[in-house]
Chain A
Amino acid sequence: SYELTQPPSVSVSPGQTARITCSGDALPKKYAYWYQQKSGQAPVLVIFEDSKRPSGIPERFSGSSSGTMATLTISGAQVEDEADYYCYSTDSSGSHWVFGGGTKLTVL
């Protein structure tokens, strides 16, 4: 079955840039999406279609995709950005939805 691969953890100091990667064989043809999940809460969509930001998401969140890798970038990470981040996409057929394994972002 199709998989999206993320690093288990990323750690940065406040004000630094955090980058979280997501790799998948279908990403050259499928968009990547990113979710933020804080403890005890439902996930929130922070990036859609590789690089677009839903309304209400701070400008410090951005996304990009090249080849088989998508990247979520948080420029000037804040303490409140500490959360689990999941990438999401579909397989090449478009009929199976997939989440990456998740990356725990620590900001301290």
Chain B
Amino acid sequence: QLQLQESGPGLVKPSETLSLTCTVSGGSISGSNYYWGWIRQPPGKGLEWIGSIYYSGSTYYNPSLKSRVTISVDTSKNQFSLKLSSVTAADTAVYYCARGARGPERAFDIWGPGTMVSVSS
């Protein structure tokens, strides 16, 4: 059964770069018609799509975050990663990785448990 797990620092200083990795187990990240995405949720607020990547490397980003976001994939490690630069307190959130597989809109059907990232000095 496919599982996703986020990993990375739980605390990042303002102006620095937030880096997270999602490890996929129970299946291959490549060779399937799936997208792999990052979604975040600030405390007490709603879900925000950050960006998605196809296993071939094609990327799609939220326009509001595009200038600060980089998503990459490492098929040899069955992982994909998120980098968010120049973070501020507004980037404090639970960050989820997920598989985009359902329907033409590639809805996220399998999610990681999420990891809390706080931005503070």
Contact = CB atoms under 8 A, between A and B. Distances in A.
A94 B64 CA distance: 16
B19 to A, nearest CB: 21
Contacts of A48: 102-103, 107, 109
Interface in A53-108: 54, 84, 86, 88-90, 94-102
Given A97-B52, A101-B46, A88 B107 contact: yes
B111 interface: yes
Contacts of B39: 99
A7 interface: no
B112 A97 contact: no
Contact size class for B?
20 to 34
A42 B46 contact: no
A96 B62 contact: yes
Contact of A94 (B46, B96, B104, B111): B104
B106 A97 contact: yes
Interface of A: 1, 30-31, 33, 35, 37, 42-45, 48-49, 54, 84, 86, 88-90, 94-102
5 contacts: A42-B96, A43-B111, A97-B37, A97-B60, A97-B105
